[in-house]
Amino acid sequence: MWRYVARRLLGVVVVLLVIAAITYGIFFVMSPVDPAVLFAGKQPTPELIAQVRSQFGLNLPVWEQYGIFVKHVFLGDQYGWPGLGFSFVTRASVRSQLTSRLVVTGTLAIGAAFVWLLLGIPIGVVSAVKQRSLLDRLAMGFALFFVSAPVFWMGLMFLWAFWFKLKIAAGTGYYGPTQYGVRTWLNHMLMPWIVLALVEAAWYARMSRGSLIEVMGEDYIRTARAKGLSEARVVVKHGLRASLLPVLTMFGMDLGLLFGGAIIVETVFNLQGLGQWAVSSVATGDLPVILAVTLVSSFAITVANVAIDICYAFLDPRVRLA
């Protein structure tokens, strides 16, 4: 068991190194813009550019820069551990800004995850049990609608309806609970949570319905029924447990992905999370920030994958960790 976990975590490190290398490839090698020129000010003299270049460490060959980056991540730099360097734009440590961004993104992701699980799975289960009933058709119709609707469009429609027209919801922006009070914070987070959760809940409803229907056709369900168990017990104890396995896989990946920033929702609702930070950094050419966000988000995705594989072994006796 522990050997398996150790091996998988080692795999995570390797994947992250490869992803960091790909990021370097895209933003340092493919990019035709020289960041040193970009950040040397409005009237860059050759001396100034050279100075900025050495300050940013861009005078070294790319592989050497990559080596230094990896070393700093593992051993820390002048700003502490893990060393992620400083932002070209603000010239401040990336780490110090990362925390506040991560809080916003985390709030959004975890809050939305609660809403979508509580909404998606029960709807999927009821739909599967009452297959082809009016309720099922209605639920699946709604699911199809939210699966198909672009998130940013839903965000706009919600803002237009609940904030601008009905005036029952607060507008955009993130207001921390300690600074502005819990009520204001909740008010501003409610709509982003719901918009993000509706899209995801629709996927989860579709998936858990399909999965449960498949499981209910298995032989052991017939056995459970033949034993004289109540239908509720058959569904919940025997059917649900097996049918939630693929849903769990999806959940881990989705949550991991969201920790890299729900770019679109953060943009629509103007939440200063990781995703928004990364996109604005791409626009300004702030390479260390892009690298940091890519790394954090890939880390979240890969670790979530490992966590799911381990959970699997506990839920499904057929899976052995090897």
Partner 1 sequence: MWARLRRDRAAVLGMVLVALILGMAVFASLLARLAGHTPNQLFDGMRTALGLPKGPTTQFWFGADQVGRDLFVRVMYGARTSLFVSVVGTSVATLIGVIVGLISGYSRGWIDTLLSRTMDVWLSLPLLLFAVGISTVCSVSVRGCLGGLLKPGLPLVTGIIALLTWPYIARIVRGQVISLREREFVEAARSIGASDARIMFSELLPNLTAPILVYATLTIPGNILFEASLSFLGVGVPQSTPSWGRMLSDATSGSLFKYAWWMMVYPGVCLLVTTIGFYLVGDGLRDALDPHRAAR
Interface positions with partner 1 (CB under 8 A):
15, 18-19, 22-23, 26-27, 30-33, 144-145, 147-153, 156-157, 159-160, 164, 257, 260-261, 263-264, 267-268, 275, 278-279, 282-283, 290, 293-294, 297-298, 301-302, 305
CB of 159 closer than 8 Å to CB of 150: no
* Closer to partner 1 by Cβ: residue 77 or 297: 297
Angle, helices 94-129/134-148, rounded to nearest 10 degrees: 150
Shortest distance, CB of residue 18 to partner 1, whole angstroms? Answer: 5
Burial class (CB in 10 A: 0-12, 13-18, 19+), 91: exposed
* Closer to partner 1 by Cβ: residue 235 or 265: 265
Instruction: Identify the DSSP state of 32.
Output: -
Phi-psi region of 175 (alpha: psi -120 to 50; beta: other; left: phi over 0): beta
Cβ neighbors of 244 (< 8 A, separation 6 or more) are: 121, 208, 211, 315
Backbone angles phi, psi at 86, to 5 degrees: -120, 155
* Closer to partner 1 by Cβ: residue 214 or 248: 214
* Closer to partner 1 by Cβ: residue 27 or 77: 27
Shortest distance, CB of residue 178 to partner 1, whole angstroms? Answer: 28
* Closer to partner 1 by Cβ: residue 79 or 152: 152
Shortest distance, CB of residue 194 to partner 1, whole angstroms? Answer: 17
Shortest distance, CB of residue 79 to partner 1, whole angstroms? Answer: 23
* Closer to partner 1 by Cβ: residue 159 or 235: 159
- Going 33 to 34 to 37 to 40, the CA torsion angle's sign is positive
Q: What is the DSSP annotation of 140-200? A: HHHHHHHHHS-HHHHHHHHIIIIIIIS--S--SS---HHHH-HHHHHHHHHHHHHHHHHHH
Shortest distance, CB of residue 228 to partner 1, whole angstroms? Answer: 28
Rounded CA-CA distance 208/118 in Å is 12
User: What would the two tokens of residue 89 be?
Assistant: 């734009």
In the beta sheet, which residues pair with residue 77?
80
Shortest distance, CB of residue 230 to partner 1, whole angstroms? Answer: 28
Instruction: Identify the DSSP state of 128.
Output: H
* Closer to partner 1 by Cβ: residue 176 or 210: 210
Shortest distance, CB of residue 232 to partner 1, whole angstroms? Answer: 27
Shortest distance, CB of residue 298 to partner 1, whole angstroms? Answer: 5
C-beta neighbour count of 218 within 10 angstroms: 14
* Closer to partner 1 by Cβ: residue 110 or 156: 156
* Closer to partner 1 by Cβ: residue 58 or 77: 58
Rounded CA-CA distance 301/289 in Å is 18
Backbone angles phi, psi at 88, to 5 degrees: -65, -30
Shortest distance, CB of residue 260 to partner 1, whole angstroms? Answer: 4
